[in-house]
Every structure is written in C-alpha cells, then in structure tokens.
Structure 1
Amino acid sequence: MVTPLALAEVLAPHGAEDANSIHDLRRLSGGANMETWAFDLVQDGVAEPLILRRSPLVPGESGTAVSALPLSAEAALLPLVAEQGVPVPTVLCALSESDTLGPGYIMSRERGEALPGRILADDRYTAARRHLARQCGETLARLHRVNPEQLPREVPNQTLAERLDGHQRSLDRFGNASLVHQLALNWLRQHAPSPQRHCLLHGDFRNGNLLVDEQGLVAVLDWELAHCGDPAEDLGYLCGNVWRFGYSDKPVGGFGDYDELLAGYREVAGWAPDMDTIHYWEVFCALGWGLVCLTMVDLYRSGADPTLERAAVGRRVSESEMDLLLLLEDRL
C-alpha cells in the first residue's frame, strides 16, 4: 500500500525524515499496466516534486500488470538514454521486491502536459505542435544511438519473425476472432523489410507518452515496452492512426506530417527510412493494437481483470480492423 510512511522509508537516504516529509500524495489517472503516484518530498521547506512508478502486483493487492520490461530494468534504462540526449525524468532510486512498496522506482516529476486531447486541441500548445513532429524525429534518432551492449539484460531482443510468430500464437489462442487481423499478419510476413540497423527502441513512442509544454517536447515517458529492433518501428508506430486521436489528417501523432518527422530524424541520424518501411510498421502497429484489444476482452470476459478499463479498450477491436483495411486497401 502506498502511504507517506512507506515513501519516507525508501527515501530516507535522500533526506526524508518521516511521513511528514511527504506531501500531496495522490494516484494519477491513466496507466493500464502500472500505477503512477505523484507527491512532494519536502526538506527545509523546499518541495521536490516526484513520481512513484510502481507495479500494482504486490502482496495483498489485486490487479493484472502486463509489462514486457521489469521496472528495475526501466530504472536502469533511463540514465542510458539520457546520456544520448533523450529527454527523460531523472531516476532518484529504484525499489526492489522486498521494499514495502514493491517493485518500482521514484523519479523527478517534470512539468508539462501528457493528455493527447489537450496537446492536440488547446491553443496553449499551438506553437509546440508546429515543431513537435521534428522534435520527435530528432529524439528517436538520439535514442537509437544507445549502445545495445550497455542495455539491461531484460530488454527483449527478438527478431521480426519471432515477433510475428508470437502474434500468430495470440490469434490462435483467440480462435477465429478476426479474419482481418489474420489477413494483416499474413501480409506482414510476406512484406517484411530487411532492417538496415538493429538498436534500442522505445516500443510505445506515441502521443500520450510524450510530455509537452508550450515550447514542445519535455520528456519521453513509459518505457515498459522498450526492446531491440528496426529503428523504423518507432517511427511508424508514432504514425499509427490509433495514436492520432481523431486528427487523422496529421499522421504523426495527430500533430505533424511525415516529412517533418523524417527530416528531424535525418538531421541527427544522417539517414531515414523510406515511406514503404514506415507504412509497414504502421500496419504492424495496427495489428499490435488489435491484439491488445483482444487481450483486454479476454481478461474482462474471463474474470481475470473485470475492470471497466479492460472492457473499454476491448470494445475497440473493430477500430483496429478498419485501420488495417484502410492501410492494406491498395497493397493486397
């Protein structure tokens, strides 16, 4: 259970004296797999805004966490990407299984907005939207420079063929739930590109995991799906229709165009993938989102996690099918 006393215990090496050092503790909304808590650590009258990122699966609590990367590996990953110029929160301390709070880590709380609806519609972010696609391209190029040999051993490193095999197993488990998803998977097998590079990927780089202020990108959040693969995947994933939040005329996150994204990437990396490769990973993204929706349906129906959030995501299976049909319309 997250309490001021529990936080004070783990933050004692960082100046927390007792529960009175922890102010304004509150759980933030969002985060389908991980809990996020905001609070202030107050020392000598000065408040340090912090975030606790934590797995909900601790003794005595219920929940279903779906994460490819342990939180300890996330905590180790952030300093590595920061060294390459990727804007991320600063990790203060990592928590272990034996800690009262369970596995997780505490990091700085950066100022900015992460809600896509506000980023895309609020006049406050008009200037930021003009530069955000290019900033995303530059940031991804910096991320992709991280030396894979330095990564935590838990970071997944599957080939594309292995990942497609995993998608097939998921579809088989759901039965004949969606012929459209099977069609898309077959297409992905037949048109797999030859990767030009193999590097660290964020894995969920999208509007909703980007912290933005009036000037643009402040920080990249939620690294639980980080893995190694083709750098074009991160770029194509950002362009998935599901992450445009209704602003489909702006393919990059609902705020920018392909040319801006790729120009930013090319400026830092010295190269950029072609549009056919970006399209391939958009299809991959749409299929992956469809499988997430089917998984949520299964969790809800089985009673393993009968929460409203699982049901709400699960009912969006048809959206992914429509996205796939539109993406493949002229390519079958």
Structure 2
Amino acid sequence: MADRLVCLAGQAPAAVGLGSSPGDGDEVRLLGQGESFAAWLLEAGGQRVVVRIARRPVAELPRPMGEEFHGLSLVSAGIGPQALVLEESADNPLGAPYMVVSFVPGRILPPGEWTPALVRAHAQQMAGLHAQRFDRCGDITAPVEERRERVDIAGQFSAGLDWWADNHPAVLAEPDVTRLARAVGAYLRDAQKTFDRLESFALIHGDLMLPNILVDGDTTVRYIDWEWSEIGDPAQDLAYLGGLITVDPWHLPMTRARTRDLIEVYLAASEHRAATGTVEEVLVRRDAWEVYERFLTSLHHRSLLAGRLDMTGSERDMYALAAAHVTRELDRRFG
C-alpha cells in the first residue's frame, strides 16, 4: 500500500489532499490499523495529511464513510482534523475507498498519565465541540425531517440486542450475557425519562475513549477517528472517557467525585447549560451511556474471541480479560 500511496501522491497529489508531490526526505508511513481503517501519514512540502483507507468493503463498515467526513466538516478548528478528500469507490489507484484528513499532532496517553488538569481541559474542549446545537438527532447526512425528536437509549439498546441475536446468536445466548441484557435493558428503560427532557442535541464524536484523544503538550487535547460521529446527546461523549466501569487501555478510572467534577467543568464551559440539563440529569444520562457502551462492547469482545482465529495470544488475553471484567462489574452493579 505504501508504494501505491507514493505513486498516487506523485501523479495526482490533490487526490490525497496534497498541494505538491512527495520528494526526497518526505514521509510515507503507517500510523496504525483498526478494524475498519488503516491510517497512513503523507508529508510533502511541509504539509502533512492522513489517508484513512478502508480495510473492508463499504457495505461492511459499521458506519458510512460519508457520515464521518461530513461530521468533520462541522468541527471547529483546533478540535479535530480537517476533512480534505472523500473517495467512496474502490475504483481508484489505491484499490479501496479512502478519505483524507489533515494531520493532528499529539500522543495517546495511558490512564496513569491523565492529570486532573488534563481531564478539565478535555471537558472544556468537549463543550466547544458541542457548541453548535440541533433540534433533532440522528445521522449527520440525514434530512432534518428524518431525524428523531429524542434520544431513545432504551430503544437503541433493544435494537442492538436484535442485531446481536441475528448476527451472533451464540454470544447473546451465553447465560451471563442473557442475564445482564435483562438487567441493563431495565436500567436504561428507567433512565429514559431523563433523556426525554433533553432540549437540544449536539454534534458528538461518539467514541471518545482514550485511544481517540491526542494530547499535545500538557493540556491541549484534540480528537481523532470520527467514525461514530452523529447528532446526539452530549452526555455520551462525557461517558466514554471512563468512570467506574473501565477497561485498560480504553478508559480512565474515575471516582464519583471526579466524574461529577468533569460534568461541572463541562457545564460551566458550555454555551447551552440550560438545554443540556442539570448536573444530576447529565450524570444520570452519562451513567446510562457508560453501562450501554461497556455492555455492548463486551459483546463485541466475546464475538472476537469466538470468531477470530488469527488473534495473537496477547490479543486474546486482552479481550477475554475485558469481557470478564465488564461482566463482573455489571453484576456488581445490578446484582
């Protein structure tokens, strides 16, 4: 793929978001690979871009590439990358759909290096991300009239279980999964009334776990990998950082006092405090998103253990420990 990128950048630099072709000393290297995309850094003439190349057919991606690309077009400068090029067809010199975004500097910090000052800076950056508000929620590219009037977390969870029943019935049939699915569903249905009071919605990242937060210097944070961006509940972004149910290396362990401080700092920086809700209301919704995400992600980990024969031993251990830990913590919460 590196050779293809170099060839395309040399012949048509605009196709990969560059103003000039790479030359001697310029850089082409793999930044990392996820389940859906591989990210490549290209540098030419002082300009650095990231090419995100799909690793699976478009129809098999969890979300359409256009959602991420158009979501980035709404993001203010300094919060995330700039959207540059979208190529949704595989009929191109790279042989796969891709998008190009500007390079975002920074590093991913492990949980132990997150300071209280950094958490507060993250809360303030999220308030900036959520500054633009919408009357309806849903997909970014959906017409306004097709968006929803409320966030239905209980309905989303039920739909998620239906998907798992259709696609991975053996995972959903595991006794501890079946037991917890009932408990989580009841908990989310009870929390739904607080979601119904939410007065407006924001562009959210949708996956603000530690690996998607880059830290530049001591307290400058920027967000990458916007695959799950949508118009939704700001409390969802607050939840995915961490909390009481956490899995290393994705989440930051947080006490209740630290979680409340996160919310208070966020609301103090928000232009829409009244519409977002009181500290207690945001805390209820944040907690619900935490349970929602941890449980559904644990199903994903279980499915990988059952279906991925190419995993390394360390990967298998990581996913097995993650699924067991979330199950144990949810049992403690609902037992």
SS of the aligned residue for 1:279 comes to helix
Write out aligned runs for 1:135-146 (5 A).
135-146=121-132
2-side partners of 1:120 and 1:66: how far apart? 35
Contact persistence 1:135–1:261 (CA under 8 A): no
What are structure 2's unaligned runs of at least 5 residues? none
The match for 2:99 is 105
The match for 1:279 is 287
* 1:6 equivalent in alignment to 2:8: yes
The match for 2:298 is 290
Instruction: Report the CA distance shift for 1:245/1:208 in structure 2 as closer, same or farther (over 3 A).
Output: same
* 1:174 equivalent in alignment to 2:208: no
The match for 1:245 is 249
1-side partners of 2:155 and 2:142: how far apart? 18
The match for 1:68 is 62
Amino acid at match of 1:187: A
Amino acid at match of 1:34: F
1-side partners of 2:127 and 2:305: how far apart? 35
Amino acid at match of 1:182: T
The match for 1:61 is none
2-side partners of 1:135 and 1:65: how far apart? 37
SS of the aligned residue for 2:47 comes to strand
2-side partners of 1:164 and 1:107: how far apart? 32
* Percent of matched pairs sharing the same residue: 18
* 1:96 equivalent in alignment to 2:88: yes
Deviations 1:182-230 (A, max 9, x none): 2332122212222132443322111110010223233101111223443
1-side partners of 2:212 and 2:147: how far apart? 20
Instruction: Report the CA distance shift for 1:108/1:145 in structure 2 as closer, same or farther (over 3 A).
Output: same
State the TM-score, normalized to the length of structure 2. 0.76
Shift of 1:293: 0.6
Contact persistence 2:51–2:98 (CA under 8 A): yes
Shift of 1:107: 1.9
* 1:52 equivalent in alignment to 2:65: no
Contact persistence 1:27–1:36 (CA under 8 A): yes
Contact persistence 2:242–2:253 (CA under 8 A): no
Amino acid at match of 1:50: V
Instruction: Report the CA distance shift for 1:248/1:153 in structure 2 as closer, same or farther (over 3 A).
Output: closer
Contact persistence 1:5–1:18 (CA under 8 A): no
Contact persistence 1:113–1:211 (CA under 8 A): yes
What are structure 1's unaligned runs of at least 5 residues? 59-63, 122-127, 301-305
Contact persistence 1:210–1:220 (CA under 8 A): yes
Shift of 1:290: 0.7
SS of the aligned residue for 1:110 comes to coil
SS of the aligned residue for 1:329 comes to helix
Instruction: Report the CA distance shift for 1:135/1:182 in structure 2 as closer, same or farther (over 3 A).
Output: farther
* 1:163 equivalent in alignment to 2:171: no
Runs of 4 or more, structure 1, over 6 Å off, are 154-158
Amino acid at match of 1:290: S
2-side partners of 1:229 and 1:323: how far apart? 25
2-side partners of 1:299 and 1:7: how far apart? 37
The alignment covers a number of residue pairs equal to 305
Shift of 1:67: 3.6
2-side partners of 1:39 and 1:17: how far apart? 11
Deviations 1:103-130 (A, max 9, x none): 222222122102x33x734xxxxxx723
C-alpha RMSD of the superposition: 3.6
2-side partners of 1:92 and 1:146: how far apart? 21
2-side partners of 1:144 and 1:5: how far apart? 39
2-side partners of 1:183 and 1:152: how far apart? 37
2-side partners of 1:311 and 1:170: how far apart? 28
Instruction: Report the CA distance shift for 1:145/1:315 in structure 2 as closer, same or farther (over 3 A).
Output: same
Contact persistence 1:36–1:51 (CA under 8 A): yes
Q: 2:119 aligns with which of 133, 139, 148?
A: 133
The match for 1:268 is 269
SS of the aligned residue for 1:23 comes to coil
1-side partners of 2:252 and 2:84: how far apart? 38
SS of the aligned residue for 1:191 comes to helix
* 1:79 equivalent in alignment to 2:73: yes
Deviations 1:41-75 (A, max 9, x none): 22xxxx212211121237xxxxx996432223312
SS of the aligned residue for 1:99 comes to coil
Instruction: Report the CA distance shift for 1:235/1:218 in structure 2 as closer, same or farther (over 3 A).
Output: closer
Shift of 1:80: 0.3
